Every structure is written in C-alpha cells, then in structure tokens.
Amino acid sequence: MLAIVLGRLMRMVVVMFGISVITFAIFFATPASDPAARIAGRNAAPETVEAVRKDFGLDRPLPVQYVLMMKRLFVTRDLTSFANRGQKIIPAIVNAAPATLSLVTGAAILWMLGGTLAGIVAAATRDRWPDKLLMGLSMAAVAMPVFWVGEMVNLVTQSRFHDTWAFSWVPPLGYAPLGADPVLWFRSLVFPWITLAFLNIGLYGRVLRTGIIETYQEDFIRTARAKGLPARKVMLKHATRSAIIPIVIMFGMDFGVLVGGAAVLTEVVFGINGVGRLTYQALKVLDLPMIMATVLYASFFVVIANAVVDMLCLLIDPRMRQA
Amino acid sequence: MGPVTGGMSALPTDDKAPSPAAIAGEGAWVSRGPWRRVLDGLLASPTAVISGLLLLLIVVATLLAPAYAARVAGSDPFRSGLSARIEIDGERVPVMQQSTEGLGLGVTPIGPTWRAQYFLGADTQGRDVAARMLYGGRNSLLIAGASTLLCLALAAVVGIVAGYVGGRVDSVLSNLIDMIWAFPVYLLAISLSIVMIGKSYRFGPFEIASDSLIVPILIIGIVYVPYVARPVRGRVLALNQSEFIMAARGLGVRRGRILMRHILPNVATTLIVFAPMLMALNIVTESSLSFLSVGVQPPNASWGTILQDGQGLLYSRPMVSMAPGLAIMVTVLLLNLFGDVLRDVLDPKSARGR
C-alpha cells in the first residue's frame, strides 16, 4: 500500500512538471506567439519590442527562462505580473481563491444532494412518470451552456422580476466575502450555486440511475430481496451504496477542475472575482507569470483530486490493488 | 436503459415486399451486414428517427441562410444597419431606437418584430438577429462537426498506436494523455485560442486567414482527444487479449492486416458511439469560447458570438441572448437523444449513463 502511495506521489510530481512545461511551451515556444510583441502592444515600434524583450528577460534561452520563472514562483515566491507591473502573483491567487472555493463548495453540496436524490427517485420509479420527468429534465440540463443558464437567471432575478417579492432579496452581481457579512455572502451566492449545480444534478442523477439499475441485476441484490429485506432498504443500503462509486470518482474530478478555475464561465457571468476569472483575464492580456501560476494552481487540484479518487477506489475495491 | 432496439427485432422476416436479398434465398440473413443492422435499429426507434429528422431540418435551415437573408429579412446580416429604417404597420421605424429609459441617452436596437424583417430584433450593430442566427448556426454546426471528426481521427490514431504498439510508445502516449487530461479543458482551449487566434498562418501553398474557422476547429478538435483516446486504447488492449485476435496471430496473419481487418472495425463502433455526444459537447465548447471572445472571430457569426453580442443587451433586448441559447439547447438535446439510441443499438450491453 505504501509503495502505491509513494508511486502515486511521484506520478503527481511528474504530471505537474509536464503541465508546467506544456503551458510554458504554449505561450513561449509556439511560433505564432511572441510575448514581447504582445506586451508592447499592437503597432509597437520594433525598438520598443526589443526593449521589452530585454526588460522582461525574454531574450534568454527558453530553458533558462523556464527555470527562472519556476524559481521565482516556488523558491523566492516574488514572481510579479507582466501586465500590472509590481503586482505579486501569489497574493493575487490567494485573494481570489476564497470566492471560487465558496462558489464551488456550495454548488458541489447542491449537486451531490440533488443528483443523488434524482438518481434514486428515477431508479425507484423506473419507466414510470417521475423517472421520465427527471430524465427529461436532466437531458435538458445537460444540453444548456452554463453561462447561458446564468444569463437567464440574471435576467429573471436582476431585471425582469427583481422588483417582485420573489427576487427583491437578491443582491447585485458580485462576490461578498464570507468574513465581512455571512448573510450577504449567502444571498449573493444562491443563484450562482444553483446555476453551477444545475448541469451536474442532471449528469449525476443520470449516472446514478444507470448504476442502480445495473446493480439491481446482481446476485447480492437478489439475495437481499430473497431474505425478505424491505424494498427501501435494498435500494438505499445495497444498490445505491454500490452504485455510488462512479459518482465519487466523477465528483473528485469535477470538484478539482472547478476549484482550479474551470468555473470561469459562471464566475464571468455572475461577476465573481475568482481564480477562473483571474486566469481568464491573465490569458487575455497574455500575463505569462500569472498564467503559469494559475494553470499550475489548477492542475495541482486536478492532480490531487485524481490521486484522492484513486486512493478511495483502492480502499473501496480491493480488487484494484493488484492492477 | 432506454428502449433497446437491437437489430434482431428488425430482421427482414416480416417485410411485406420481398427485398432483393430476400429473393436471393438463404443469403438474406448473411447479406444484412452489421451496418445495415445498425440502420435498422435506428429506424425502429421513434426517438432516433424524430431527432435525426429534426437535426436534418436544422442543418437545412442553416444552409438556407443566404436565401433567408436576401429574400425574407432583406438586409445584409454582416453589415451594420445603424441608420436603417423598416416599415411596421405603415409606419417607418428606425432600427436603432432612442432609449426611453433613464435620461433617454443612447440607442437601443429594435426588439423582435415577429415580421419578416428583424423577426428576432436587431443587435447592437443594427443587424438582423434572425438572419445571423441561421448564418451562425451554420458555423456552429460546421465547427462542431469538423472538430468532432478531427478529434475522433486523432484519438483513433493515438489510442490504437498506444494500445497496439505498446511498450515505451504506449507509456509516452499514455502519460501525455494523462497530462492533457489534468489540464482543465476550458483553460487549455482558451490558452490555445489566445495564442493562435487573430493571426494568419502560411503552410506552403495554404494560407489560413486570421478570422478563419479552421483555428477554432483545430482547438476544439484537440482538447477532447484524451477523452476518446483513453477508451480507444482500453478497447485495443482488450481486443489484443481476445481469442479471435490470438487466433489470427496464431494463423500467422501479418500485424498490419490484423490492425486493418480486426482491430479497426471493432474500434470503429467505439468511435461512432462517441460521435454524437462529442458533437454536442463541441457545440457547447464553441459557444463558450466565442462567448469569451476567443472562438469565432468577427465578422463571422456563430451561436456563441451572438450570445456574446447579446450580453450587453441582456436586460433591454433579451431575445438576442435567448434565441442562440435555445438553438444550442435544442440541437444538443437532439444530438444526445440520437446518440443514446445509437449507443444502445451499437452496443446493447453498455449502459453508461453519460
């Protein structure tokens, strides 16, 4: 077991190193990409571009640039932004992280509860109207782009019906820190949570339903029913418990990716200054140190989530330990 | 699982008119190849037939975009019509109307007229949204379709090479797949877009213009490769252990022939199952990238760019945002419905929920 854990850790480091190299390559080594020209702006004089190149150290060999950037990111921790000179990278990410974490955690709770409930109800009422209704809804939920759902939610809650009793409590778009005003924090996040969770409720419900229905064909379910357990107990204690494993795997991956910044669309639509938005803004102005840091931050969560999920699987299913 | 319409129920035994194959006698059963069985399975499912027809209808509608713009809308949806006027109930109305809210400053584009001209209203440039929807749908579908094909082709090559060659090649490719997998899809796509979009490229005799659709196609085609390559590799590994491949090997069949005659047809079903779902995913991805202005570039339109145009008009003219969103939803829904049936027909055993 220890060997597996150590091997896993080694792999994590290798994957993260690989990601940092890929990111670096995309922005520094692509023939079409000239960071100095981007920083200097459109129609800049060639001398300006050269000056920028020298100033930012972009004239050095690529491996040297890479090592220097990594050193300033991890060892001296004083890496600064290209776009806003003087802005330190690490504090910027640390400041953005709570907003994303609030958004994703709340949404995750919602979609795990909603998805599990939808899956169990649909499986229990298989091929009858609650199942058909839920699965129809889930198909529709999966088909909608998340930012569009967000826009439609904003249209209803911020504009069209904002003055009615139903939505007058919704604060203007933006993130309110938890520490400052917990109630405002909650109110400002209710609809972002619902929006972000919406798609996953559909997805998770679907996967769980399929899993339960498959599990129902297994021998141990027949045994449980044959020995006279009530149907509800068979459903909840036996079938759901075994069918929830793929959900746990999916959850780990989705949560990691979202915390890392993949909630960018939701953040943009609801004006939440989280990690995703920070990354997106850095990408837009080609702020390379910021991009490097945010992408590594994101991949860190993905890799961690991957590892945690693998460990969980090893714990749940001993058969996987041999592989 | 939904209604499983296996090929067996649709065999030609109960055909009213004898098909040529049936006349040929016993050959009837043999001549119905696996692809024909898939087609029969699809035709036996009302869901597949209806969603397929509706998808076809959407494609045809978008192909008729120039006709709609010229004959019905009567304006060029790619040129701004800020000073245009249209006739409604005998009155000449400007397309860009003086704002009535607040201080009355600025102009608001006309809302849905529900008439031939500006059926869904105008965008901030005074362009006909309905006509742009058709043109945009064309690009959205083209990008999604082309990137799906590209993704499947790349994933097939990567997955088959990794699974079939094995050894060091496999470990390099698998690690690469893992790495790209760990990269959040949207961040990867946005990164690639920002580096690649807005420039023109020359590859020998080919020139790619800065607003070409090829760039988004390439980006969207690449980012989902790991998601397909992984299962393909798994399938190839499983096939390698299967008895009929071992038998072929034992008979001394050459590697290349095993690959072409035995591995490839079996991997093909995996790829086809992915196609509709991938295309649905790609439509959403295209709209997201275009919404963040790193997808389709102006003056080209797509459902995503119209959504972006509508962003600033969300509270005053919500139709500009609602129409493309609904179009995306309906198309994706139809693709997923069709894909579900296709998966059940091709692989009745698999009941993956996604």
Give the residue with greater pLDDT, A115 vs A65. A115
User: Which range among A87-96, A308-317, B33-42 shows the weakest confidence by mean pLDDT?
Assistant: A308-317
The pair of three-digit structure tokens given for residue B222, joined into one six-digit string: 């690449």
The pair of three-digit structure tokens given for residue B270, joined into one six-digit string: 């995996």
Of the candidates B346, B307, B349, the residue with the CA atom closest to the CA atom of residue B136: B307
User: Which range among A140-149, B122-131, B258-267 shows the weakest confidence by mean pLDDT?
Assistant: B122-131
pLDDT in tens, B194-217: 777 766 666 666 777 767 788 889
Q: Does B183 lie at the interface with A, CB-CB under 8 angstroms?
A: yes
Cα nearest neighbour of B293 on chain A? A284
Q: What is the pLDDT of residue B152?
A: 94
Q: B195 to chain A: which residues are within 8 Å by CB?
A: 26-27, 30, 32-33
Give the residue with greater pLDDT, A11 vs A201. A201
Q: What is the pLDDT of residue B76?
A: 74
Q: B311 to chain A: which residues are within 8 Å by CB?
A: 151
Segment A297-303 mean pLDDT: 83
Instruction: Find which of B51, B193, B194, B220 to mutate to test the A interface (most A CBs within 10 Å of its CB).
Output: B194
Specify the amino acid at residue B277.
M
Helices (H), B108-202: 129-165, 167-182, 185-196
8 Å CB contact of B194 and A152: no
Give the residue with greater pLDDT, B344 vs B33. B344
Q: A23 to chain B: which residues are within 8 Å by CB?
A: 191
* Chain B closest-CA separation from residue A1 CA (Å): 22
List, in order, residues 6 or more apart from B50 with CB less than 8 Å away: none
Q: Does B208 lie at the interface with A, CB-CB under 8 angstroms?
A: no
pLDDT in tens, B229-248: 988 988 888 888 888 888 98
8 Å CB contact of B195 and A32: yes
pTM (predicted TM-score): 0.82
8 Å CB contact of B191 and A291: yes
User: Which range among A122-136, A290-304, B147-161, B317-331 shows the weakest confidence by mean pLDDT?
Assistant: A290-304
CB nearest to A148's CB, from B187, B191, B325: B325
Q: What is the pLDDT of residue A322?
A: 55
Q: Does B63 lie at the interface with A, CB-CB under 8 angstroms?
A: no
Per the prediction, chain A carries an average pLDDT of 83
pLDDT in tens, B325-341: 999 999 999 999 999 88
Cα nearest neighbour of A11 on chain B? B175
Is B57's pLDDT higher than 90?
yes
pLDDT bracket for residue A109 (50, 70, 90) = very high
Give the residue with greater pLDDT, A143 vs B25. A143
CB nearest to A262's CB, from B186, B333, B353: B186
Q: Does B341 lie at the interface with A, CB-CB under 8 angstroms?
A: no
Q: For residue A222, count other CB atoms closer than 10 A to its CB.
A: 12
Q: What is the pLDDT of residue A126?
A: 86
User: Which range among A159-168, A192-201, A277-286, B93-102 shows the weakest confidence by mean pLDDT?
Assistant: B93-102
- CA distances (Å), A309 to each of A14, A260, B89, in order? 18, 16, 64
- CA distances (Å), A208 to each of A115, A212, A220, B281, B354, in order? 8, 6, 18, 21, 10
* Chain A closest-CA separation from residue B332 CA (Å): 5
CB nearest to B182's CB, from A148, A159, A303: A303
Specify the amino acid at residue A8.
R
Cα nearest neighbour of B179 on chain A? A15
Segment A264-291 mean pLDDT: 86
- What is the spatial distance between Cα A129 and Cα A125, in angstroms, rounded to a whole number? 8
pLDDT bracket for residue B18 (50, 70, 90) = very low
- What is the spatial distance between Cα B321 and Cα B313, in angstroms, rounded to a whole number? 8
- CA distances (Å), B299 to each of A166, A174, B76, B124, B286, in order? 41, 32, 12, 14, 16
Q: A30 to chain B: which residues are within 8 Å by CB?
A: 195-196
Give backbone dihedrals phi and psi of B141, rounded to 5 degrees, phi first: -70, -40
Q: B288 to chain A: which residues are within 8 Å by CB?
A: 145-147, 265
Segment A96-124 mean pLDDT: 91
The pair of three-digit structure tokens given for residue B290, joined into one six-digit string: 């275009």
Q: What is the pLDDT of residue B204?
A: 66
Q: A160 to chain B: which residues are within 8 Å by CB?
A: 318
CB nearest to B353's CB, from A19, A207, A286: A207
8 Å CB contact of A264 and B329: no
Q: What is the DSSP string of B79-90?
A: S--TT-EEEETT
DSSP A80: B
Q: Does B287 lie at the interface with A, CB-CB under 8 angstroms?
A: yes
- What is the spatial distance between Cα B6 and Cα A313, in angstroms, rounded to a whole number? 34
Cα nearest neighbour of A30 on chain B? B195
Segment A179-190 mean pLDDT: 86
8 Å CB contact of A148 and B333: no
Work out how many CB contacts closer than 8 A connect A with B. Answer: 140
pLDDT bracket for residue B4 (50, 70, 90) = very low
CB nearest to A210's CB, from B190, B329, B351: B351
Is A55's pLDDT higher than 70?
yes
8 Å CB contact of B184 and A298: yes
Segment A267-278 mean pLDDT: 89
Q: What is the pLDDT of residue B147?
A: 94
Q: Are the CB atoms for B28 and B21 separated by under 8 Å?
A: yes
Is A5's pLDDT higher than 70?
yes
DSSP B297: P
Is A133's pLDDT higher than 70?
yes
Cα nearest neighbour of B175 on chain A? A15
Element (H, E) at B97: strand B96-98
Q: Does B199 lie at the interface with A, CB-CB under 8 angstroms?
A: yes
8 Å CB contact of B195 and A19: no
